[in-house]
Amino acid sequence: MTSFLTLTPVPELLAHIASFAPLEAEDVPLEEGAGRTLAEDFRSPEELPGFDRSVVDGFAVRARDVFGAGEGMPALLSCLGEIPMGAVPTITVMPGTCVRIWTGGMLPQGADAVVMLEYVRQVADPDSADVELTRPVAPGDNVLAKDEDCGLGETLIPGGRLLRPQEVGLLAGLGQERVRVRRRPKVAVISTGDEVIPYGRRPLPGQVRDVNAVTLAALAREEGGEARFFGLVGDDEATLKRLVGEAFAWGDVVLVSGGSSAGRRDYTLNALAAVPGCSTLIHGVAVSPGKPLIFARSGEKSCWGMPGHVASALVCAHVFLRPLLRRLLGRDDGNRIEHVVSARMTRPVPSVLGRRDYIRVALGRPLEPGDAPTAIPVLGKSGAISTLVKADGLVVCLETDEGIPAGTLVEVEPLR
């Protein structure tokens, strides 16, 4: 039986991840851009909206003509007509006049503000075009200036930004039919073990369903990757070598579930060694759960021997695979933990000096009014699937700590 190499500290493995280069860029139709990562800064090719426009239904005026207007002393102006939507106004607002305008309409010459429709009333004489305005406005009120949304050449979306519907909408507003994004990382998944069967089958005594193939692929897709399952392999070294070789030829990241521990029938190390140019850099990480993790690299491609235990594999994917995929996508938030929640531990959790622990916790109501939510440790061993469903997030116990006392205020990283 072989033994683990010296256990590698978590920061060292994260440093390896940070050394990967982002993937190449590609152009895709704008309607396919949501959820993709922008490859380079996007600068506005024009001013937006490009003309002064009203942001309310109302009357376009010269602000000086309604100075001091109110219910008791309204400003009396002559309405010259209405601005058609989508047309360039042919009316010029002169002193003592106004023009009816709709939301989005182009402001006519001479006008510098818009009085909302709610503050305008028709005079009693049905033959008169005069209107009474009961609210003053300052120049620019209720008007979006032609370059107020964005100016020509302005950087609107930085490279590395994950494109949400609002970014896609902004690009559409600027006439962009295509968008330049990072290629999706290709993530190959292989499951191993004589005891593992496809998840759709009923297991016999001693057998377990293949959960990791689904969870690891789902996490990869959630992070913007393209996942492909290369197969379920028994304890067959020759078949595993062949599948790992095929996976390396296709993918940017290869995940081999199971076979990473130091037992005599764990063939993952040999399968990686058979890939030309692939070097195993780490076998064993000072982390719990997930100690038997393997990390190998060939150029800008990587292969991971993931723990077979479900919770261990998914925690390792959360801690290491997520930042790797974000790095390959060039995400500007690759090292940022989103929506961290401060919570108070309800019970003590022991740890070991020199090891980084990721403690699964559920969030509960505060014990005292005005206090932080509670972080309730979810008890269960690394092979327990249900612990990850019960958990809302992870609490990190660093290598320098011997545990976390009850009542400690901790940060909870969300398990999305």
* Lowest-confidence segment of 133-142, 156-165, 355-364, 384-393 by average pLDDT: 384-393
Residues in the chain: 416
The answer to whether position 335 is within a domain reads: no
The answer to whether position 17 is within a domain reads: yes
- What Rg do the C-alpha atoms of the chain give, in angstroms? 31
pLDDT in tens, 138-196: 999 999 999 998 999 999 999 999 999 999 999 999 999 999 999 999 999 999 998 99
Whether residues 202 and 321 share a domain: the answer is: yes
pLDDT in tens, 14-62: 999 999 999 999 999 999 999 999 999 999 999 989 999 999 999 999 9
Return all residues near 100 (Cβ < 8 A) that are at least 6 apart.
Answer: 59, 60, 79, 81, 82, 83
The answer to whether position 152 is within a domain reads: no
The answer to whether position 123 is within a domain reads: yes
Average pLDDT over residues 367-385: 84
pLDDT at 69 over 90: yes
CA angle 381, 387, 393 (to 5 degrees): 115
Whether residues 19 and 38 share a domain: the answer is: no
Whether residues 383 and 362 share a domain: the answer is: yes
Q: Which of 153, 182, 211 is the last residue of a domain?
A: 182
Quote the domain boundaries for residue 360.
341-414
Whether residues 278 and 348 share a domain: the answer is: no
Over the chain, what HEC string results? CCCCCCCECHHHHHHHHHCCCCCCEEEEEHHHCCCCEECCCEECCCCECCCCEECCCEEEECHHHHCCCCCCCCEEEEEEEECCCCCCCCCECCCCEEEEECCCCECCECCCEEEEHHHEEECCCCCCCEEEECCCCCCCCCEECCCCCECCCCEEECCCCECCHHHHHHHHHCCCCEEEEECCCEEEEEEECCCEECCCCCCCCCCEECCHHHHHHHHHHHCCCEEEEEEEECCCHHHHHHHHHHHHHHCCEEEEECCCCCCCCCCHHHHHHCCCCCEEEEECECEECCCCCEEEEECCEEEEEECCCHHHHHHHHHHHHHHHHHHHCCCCCCCCCCCCEEEEECCCEECCCCCEEEEEEEEECCCCCCCCCEEEECCCCCCCCHHHHHCCEEEEECCCCCEECCCCEEEEEECC
The answer to whether position 5 is within a domain reads: no
Whether residues 139 and 98 share a domain: the answer is: yes
Q: How many domains does the chain have?
A: 4
CATH number of the domain bearing residue 69: 2.170.190.11
* Lowest-confidence segment of 113-117, 310-314, 338-342 by average pLDDT: 338-342
Whether residues 235 and 287 share a domain: the answer is: yes
pLDDT at 81 over 80: yes
How much of the chain exceeds pLDDT 70, in percent?
Answer: 94
pLDDT in tens, 224-271: 999 999 999 988 899 999 999 999 999 999 999 986 555 544 688 889
What per-residue confidence (pLDDT) applies to 332?
A: 82
Whether residues 213 and 236 share a domain: the answer is: yes
Whether residues 294 and 367 share a domain: the answer is: no
What per-residue confidence (pLDDT) applies to 259?
A: 66
Whether residues 29 and 166 share a domain: the answer is: yes
Whether residues 14 and 117 share a domain: the answer is: no
CATH number of the domain bearing residue 30: 3.90.105.10
Q: What is the mean pLDDT of the chain?
A: 92
The answer to whether position 154 is within a domain reads: no
CATH number of the domain bearing residue 410: 2.40.340.10
Of the candidates 283, 255, 257, the one whose C-alpha atom is nearest the C-alpha of residue 269 is 283
Q: Which of 121, 153, 182 is the last residue of a domain?
A: 182
How much of the chain exceeds pLDDT 90, in percent?
Answer: 82
CATH number of the domain bearing residue 201: 3.40.980.10
The answer to whether position 3 is within a domain reads: no
Whether residues 320 and 261 share a domain: the answer is: yes
Q: Which of 306, 328, 350 is the last residue of a domain?
A: 328
The answer to whether position 189 is within a domain reads: yes
Whether residues 291 and 199 share a domain: the answer is: yes
